[in-house]
Amino acid sequence: MIQNLLQTPIEYLKGVGPNRAEVLKKELNIRSYRDLINFFPNRYIDKTGFYKINQLQQNTSEVQIVGKIVHMKMVEQKRGKRLVADFVDDTGRMELIWFRGHKWIKENLKINTPYVIFGKTSYYNGLFSMPHPEMELVSDYKKNLRTAMQPVYPSTEMLQKKGITNRVIMKLMQEVLQQTGLKFSESLSPALLSEIKLISKAEALFNIHFPKNQELLAKAQFRLKFEELFFIQLQLLRKNMLHKQKIKGFNFEQIGEHFNDFYQNHLPFELTNAQKRVIKEIRSDMGSGAQMNRLLQGDVGSGKTIVALMSMLIALDNNFQACLMAPTEILSIQHYNGLKELCEEIDISIYLLTGSTKTSKRREIHEKLESGEIDILIGTHALLEDKVKFKNLGLAVIDEQHRFGVAQRARLWKKNHIPPHVLVMTATPIPRTLAMSLYGDLDISVIDELPPGRKPIKTVHRFDSNRLKVFAFIREEINKGRQVYVVYPLIQESEKMDYKDLMDGYESIAREFPDFQISIVHGQMKPADKDYEMDRFVRGETQIMVATTVIEVGVNVPNASMMIIESAERFGLSQLHQLRGRVGRGAEQSFCILMTGHKLSNDSKTRLETMTATNDGFEIAEVDLKLRGPGDLMGTQQSGVLNLKIADIVKDNSILQLARNYASEILKEDPNLSRDENQVIKNAYARLVKNKTIWNYIS
């Protein structure tokens, strides 16, 4: 049975043994035949042609030549020796050189016997040479299972040290493919294979390791990428379906007084169409009888808070409580003040609970929460403490969820016998491709338009040599009664240097603007001093705020109309976008000026061009994803999430979309995969779940 053979521990494969097995497990996580077969090359060397020595060019990269060694000698050099061999074919002579392993090479190489050699050439003093060539006797070369395209596998220093070279991996791969006789069970249904014109699993696995030509390689790659992404999407979509069937939620059928009164009489502005659409999606989720699990994405300032409030009012109308959890104290206080102001006219009780809430106040909150006197509780991680017990929590809103772990979120659910509805909000735009893979089991809503009356922020890039003009512009804005941010980068390793930059910057601004008040905020200050400085700026007592990136999230000063970002080339795209979002919160035209030196890398240029060209967070996130890759984008705690074997979320965007569409169609027609034509998929899916292979990919 092929499945049992694939589970064979790797040490039993001819050519491996216990020592090599240990290295393969540790370095590449290869534990079985199946793991080895699923270890794919990351590039290929095209060995379709042979060169003659007289055809070699000085800039030729890797070449393959047939010839004989006619003579070998040791040459003394400053450090140690080198072994030099004369290698000839019928057109000329070149040298082969080894700097290490002389003894073994000398004993094993045969003189006057035809070899195929392969490697990089160098040219010196009229003679070509090849250091450490790959060598194979022509007689062996003809016997071996081989292809014109040679696979190159990912490697590590330890593998090289232990002698597990690319050649060794190729040999092992040939061995395992011969032992399995290429009898791999198909994992996709005949209908899928014929509809998308995919080659079989066995053909794909053979041609990914030993392709005969470029065309077969492309077919193998497409087949395996589609399969990998298809099963991830199948898993996520099934998880979502089962969640809805299994986890019953409170049924909020009532849209009552709180919601209607607020909507008709107290809304500070007309909702955008995007906000209306999202509220409709949330209402239908909360009234479906299944637990809502929805991700709400919206750019900075797109009006997520109003949507969250109106969702909470639906919970209140059904006699339930709601809570809003934010990652920092500053943010939770801001949410509290904002919601308190919005709800002034309607009769609901809102409380705030953070790490610095006084003990007596805490006691009062705990009691009122359990008796149901508190309608909405806003706070930080403090909401997760065991002492915090709700009478009946119906909706939990989580802001910037990637800052909370899964276990922390689960603690909120346990506060009820039935889990509350969950609305996760983020102002970090996540590109669709990534969202489908990271949050494929959540339903996703997007607010993709800004409230009316908001003017798009004008963004420009200026070099340091234009600083005087920038200073003149700052003065103009402040004279109109506006306020200005000046932000300096903060990179942990060079904190001293950053601190010096910040202080130098502060001094030059103080010299330039002696008639204005300036706040300064950085990470080395005591929290109380930081809050005092922030507060002065918020109240308008200071005109300029000089800061490091601590102001990135959640400071709301509608009167600030200008953001200067110093050394902008040192920031990532999403960070630049988040910083820019600190201005443009009032009705006035706002500006963002990106200051840099003249020396810029290509990536930096792309980032600056993207920032000046668009204000659309999703467009920016797509460029960021291309520049940085999915692991980086989600921050370190999530970087292992997309542990893909062959597909690439960014480059294979269209395959991902295709895979999701097919997975979704199949589940719509056959949710339990019980039809005959889907048995192949069901069996493959069960195997993957059993071997926990899919879970590598899913957070």
User: 72 - beta bridge partners?
Assistant: 85
Contact present, 300 and 581 (Cβ < 8 Å): yes
Count of beta carbons in the 10 Å neighbourhood of residue 313: 25
Please provide the average confidence, as pLDDT, over all residues in the chain. Answer: 86
CA-CA-CA-CA torsion sign (155, 158, 161, 164): negative
What is the residue whose two structure tokens read 């009356």? 453
- Amino acid 594: pLDDT: 97
| Whether 58 and 137 share a structural domain | yes
- Tell me the two tokens of residue 241: 């379906």
Buried b (16+ CB within 10 A) or exposed e, 555-573: bebeebbbbbbbbbbbbeb
Q: Name the nearest CA neighbour of 333 among 284, 401, 382, 375.
A: 382
Name the residue among 225, 297, 642 with its Cα closest to residue 438: 642
pLDDT at 524 > cutoff 70:
yes
Using DSSP's 3-state secondary structure scheme, residue 278 falls into helix
Q: What is the dihedral of CA 46, 51, 53, 54, to 10 degrees?
A: -120
What confidence tens digit (pLDDT) does each residue in 451-500 have?
777 788 999 999 999 999 999 999 999 999 999 999 988 755 456 666 77
pLDDT, residue 350, reads 96
- 173 token code pair: 């791969």
- Is the pLDDT confidence value at 262 over 90? yes
Question: Cβ distance 339 to 309 under 8 Å?
Answer: yes
Higher-confidence residue of 640 and 250: namely 250
Q: Is 382 a member of any domain? A: yes
Query: Where would I find the beta strands (DSSP E) of 601-660?
Result: none
CA distances to 139, 249, 661 from 350, in Å: 84, 24, 43
Counting every residue written for the chain, the total comes to 699
pTM for this entry: 0.65
* pLDDT score of 607: 93
Domain boundary residue, one of 598, 614, 630? 614
- Cα gap 606→617, rounded to integer Å: 15
Residue 493's pLDDT is what?
Answer: 47
In this structure, the answer to whether residues 587 and 469 fall within a common structural domain is yes
Rounded to 5°, the CA angle 36-41-43 comes to 175
Q: Compute the distance between CA of residue 37 and CA of residue 25 in angstroms, rounded to an integer.
A: 14
- Over residues 352-371, the pLDDT tens digits come to 999 889 999 999 999 999 99
392 and 306 in a single domain? The answer is yes
What phi-psi label fits residue 389: left (phi over 0), alpha (psi between -120 and 50 degrees) or beta? beta
In whole angstroms, what is the distance from residue 661 CA to residue 653 CA? 12
Q: In the predicted model, is pLDDT for residue 285 greater than 80?
A: yes
Choose the most confident range, by mean pLDDT, from 213-227, 415-429, 650-664.
Answer: 213-227
- On whether residue 578 sits in a domain, the answer given is yes
CA 122, 124, 126, 127 torsion-angle sign? negative
pLDDT at 636: 33
Residue 86 belongs to domain spanning: 49-147
Residues 372-387 as b or e (16 or more Cβ within 10 Å = b):
eebbbbbbbbbbbeee
Q: What percent of the chain has pLDDT over 90?
A: 49
Give me the residues paired with residue 544 across strands. Answer: 484, 518
Which residues does 435 contact at the CB level (< 8 Å), separation at least 6? 295, 297, 444
Q: Are 510 and 536 in contact (CB under 8 A)?
A: no
- If asked whether residues 322 and 382 sit together in one domain, one would say yes
Tell me: do 608 and 513 sit in the same domain: yes
Of the pLDDT bands very low, low, confident and very high (cuts 50, 70, 90), residue 3 is confident
Q: Say if residue 585 is in the same domain as residue 506.
A: yes
- Sort strands 122-124 and 127-131 into parallel, antiparallel or unpaired: antiparallel
Rounded distance, CA 154 to CA 369, Å? 56
Rounded to an integer, the average pLDDT of 306-331 is 92
Residue 432 exposure: Cα atoms within 13 Å on the Cβ side: 10
Residue 340 has pLDDT above 80, yes or no: yes
Take residue 654 and report the two structure tokens written for it: 């269209």
Give the integer Cα–Cα distance in Å for 160 and 28: 13
In the predicted model, what is the mean pLDDT of residues 250-268?
Answer: 90
Nearest alpha carbon to residue 299 among 436, 457, 491: 457
What is the predicted pLDDT for the residue at 405? 56
Domains: count for the chain: 3
Residue among 178, 112, 108 at smallest CA distance from 143: 178
Per-residue confidence band for 694, with pLDDT thresholds at 50, 70 and 90: low
Q: Are residues 269 and 384 in the same domain?
A: yes
End of a domain among 561, 593, 614?
Answer: 614
**Do residues 402 and 462 both lie within one domain?**
no
Contact 631, 639 (CB under 8 A): yes
Residue 658 lies in a domain: no
In a domain, 462, yes or no: yes
CA of residue 90 relative to chain centroid, distance: 55
Residue 213's pLDDT is 82
Instruction: Say if CB 122 and CB 95 are below 8 A apart.
Output: no
Which tokens is 294 given? 């929805």
Name the domain boundary from 123, 147, 171: 147
Cβ-proximal residues to 359 (8 Å cutoff; 6+ apart), any chain: none
The verdict on 415 and 466 lying in the same domain is: no
Better pLDDT: 442 or 682: 682
Of the listed ranges 142-146, 518-522, 587-591, the least confidently predicted one is 142-146
Average pLDDT over residues 510-536: 87
Q: DSSP for 341-396, please give it.
A: HHTTTS---EEEE-TT--HHHHHHHHHHHHHT--SEEEESGGGGSTT---S-EEEE
CA dihedral 289, 295, 298, 299 (to 10 degrees): 160
Judge whether 652 lies within some domain. Answer: no
Backbone dihedral angles phi then psi of residue 519, each to the nearest 5 degrees: -100, 150
Q: Is the residue at 101 inside a domain?
A: yes
Higher pLDDT, 410 or 623: 623
Q: Within a domain: residue 246?
A: no
Q: Provide the percentage of residues in the chain whose pLDDT is more than 70.
A: 90
pLDDT band at 403 (very low <50, low <70, confident <90, very high): low
Same domain, 390 and 499: no
Measured over the CA atoms of residue 327, residue 333, residue 338 and residue 339, the dihedral's sign is positive
> Is residue 447 predicted with pLDDT exceeding 70?
yes
Q: The domain spanning residue 58 has which CATH number?
A: 2.40.50.140
Kindly write down the DSSP assignment for every residue of 472-532, as one continuous string: HHHHHHHHTT-EEEEE----GGGHHHHHHHHHHHHHHHHHH-TTS-EEEE-TTS-HHHHHH
89 in a structural domain: yes
Mean pLDDT (whole number) for 515-532 = 85
- 202 SS3 class: helix
pLDDT band at 629 (very low <50, low <70, confident <90, very high): low
CATH code, domain with 321: 3.40.50.300
CA atoms of 322 and 313, how far apart (whole Å): 8
Residue with token string 């200026």 = 462
For residue 29, give the nearest of 17, 38, 42, 41 by alpha carbon: 38
Neighbours of 254 (CB within 10 A): 14
- Which pLDDT band, with edges at 50, 70 and 90, does 634 fall under? very low
- Check whether residue 465 and residue 592 sit in a common domain: yes
CA dist 348 and 375 (Å) reads: 6
Q: Write out pLDDT tens, residues 27-41.
A: 999 999 999 999 999
Backbone angles phi, psi at 285, to 5 degrees: -60, -45
Could you tell me if 470 and 400 lie in one domain? no
